[in-house]
């Protein structure tokens, strides 16, 4: 089958590779659509930190935002999965450790990330092998492009829920990339007053096209009370800005990752009594605290 292979910084090619086989507890999926994430771009450019730590290495087959149809079943897999349209988790835990048994597989010490780390081949290919435990059924009413957006959408939805907003309260989203815009859409669907901040005026055009009237740059951002702030950027200075902008006693959610370390003044965090939440993956683990204050229907 054909697959995209990253062979080194700035180097990629489509290769003929051996098609995957479904091992015990796995399925093989005919890939319908795959998205390209900022992580994929950093893996291609060589800027991804995992390449320096050895967690990722070339050659590498990327792609973790995908949808498809189950074509083959491994031993022990329920036959009802055959022929179903599915999406899947990126974070593949071992399934045996305490974290996995508690529903926190995305922070498993032996974590493999599909298309990213530990040699887990990704979905920029004709076929993909994936554990059945990582699958989620995709209705036929959802088109392929929307299906490939489920993985980043799950991350964005969890970030909005972590913000702890009531309907009518004001959310500031830093960043107008895919995750920032998805978070803004979910928050708007839940009744929040949503504002976005981008780097420059051209970055705000897509937000305006999605119907967001409150889109700003740092220079034009109004001095309003922000009941929650979501940092969906990759800029090292933004986490501190998010904390500085948040209302005392409220929440800051960090879902963006900068290429270099960020710094926060924990005195400000304490004295403002702000709750800081980090979001790594879309699945909300059991025992993660109270559910969302605003009701968000992901189908909207």
CATH number at residue 90: 3.90.180.10
Contact by Cβ (8 Å): 131, 28? no
Q: Distance of alpha carbon 262 from its chain centroid, rounded?
A: 20
Predicted TM-score of the model (pTM) = 0.90
Are residues 92 and 187 located together in one domain of the fold?
Answer: no
Segment 151-179, tens digit of pLDDT:
999 999 999 999 999 999 999 999 999 99
Lowest mean pLDDT among 110-119, 169-178, 244-253, 283-292: 283-292
pLDDT for the residue numbered 291: 46
**Using CB atoms within 10 A of its CB, is residue 84 exposed (0-12), middle (13-18) or buried (19+)?**
middle
Mean pLDDT within 7-25 = 97
Give the range of the structural domain holding residue 251, as residue numbers without chain letter: 153-278
Question: Is residue 290 in a domain?
Answer: no
pLDDT for residue 287 is more than 90: no
Which pLDDT score, from 0 to 100, does residue 260 have?
Answer: 86
Using an 8 Å Cβ cutoff, are 176 and 204 in contact? Answer: yes
* 259 vs 235, residue with greater confidence: 235
Percent of the chain with pLDDT over 90: 87
44: left (phi over 0), alpha (psi -120 to 50) or beta: alpha
**Mean pLDDT (whole number) for 198-223:** 95
Is residue 164 in some structural domain? Answer: yes
Q: Is residue 228 located within the same domain as residue 116?
A: no
Average pLDDT, the chain: 93
Dihedral in degrees, nearest 10, Cα atoms 107, 110, 112, 118: 140
Give the per-residue pLDDT at 288.
Answer: 43
């Amino acid at each position: 089958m054909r697959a995209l292979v990253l062979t080194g910084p700035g180097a990629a090619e489509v290769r003929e590779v051996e098609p995957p086989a479904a091992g015990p507890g796995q399925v093989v999926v005919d890939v319908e659509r795959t998205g390209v994430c900022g992580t994929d771009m950093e893996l291609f450019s060589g800027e991804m930190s995992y390449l320096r730590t050895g967690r990722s290495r070339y050659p590498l087959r990327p792609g973790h935002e995908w949808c498809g149809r189950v074509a083959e079943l491994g031993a022990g897999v329920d036959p009802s999965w055959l022929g179903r349209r599915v999406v899947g988790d990126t974070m593949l835990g071992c399934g045996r450790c305490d974290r996995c048994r508690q529903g926190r597989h995305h922070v498993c010490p032996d974590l493999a990330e599909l298309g990213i780390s530990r040699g887990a081949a990704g979905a920029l290919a004709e076929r993909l092998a994936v554990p059945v435990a990582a699958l989620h059924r995709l209705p036929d009413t959802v088109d392929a492009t929307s299906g490939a957006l489920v993985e980043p959408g799950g991350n964005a939805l969890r970030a909005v829920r972590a913000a702890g907003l009531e309907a009518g309260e004001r959310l500031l989203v830093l960043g107008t990339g895919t995750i920032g815009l998805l978070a803004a859409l979910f928050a708007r669907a839940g009744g929040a007053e949503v504002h976005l901040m981008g780097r420059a005026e051209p970055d705000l055009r897509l937000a305006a096209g999605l119907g967001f009237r409150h889109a700003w740059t740092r220079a034009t951002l109004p001095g309003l009370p922000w009941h929650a702030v979501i940092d969906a950027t990759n800029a090292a200075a933004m986490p501190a800005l998010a904390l500085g902008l948040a209302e005392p006693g409220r929440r800051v959610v960090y879902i963006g990752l900068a290429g270099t370390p960020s710094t926060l003044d924990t005195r400000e965090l304490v004295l403002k009594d702000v709750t800081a939440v980090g979001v790594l993956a879309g699945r909300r683990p059991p025992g993660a605290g109270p559910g969302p204050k605003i009701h968000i229907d992901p189908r909207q």
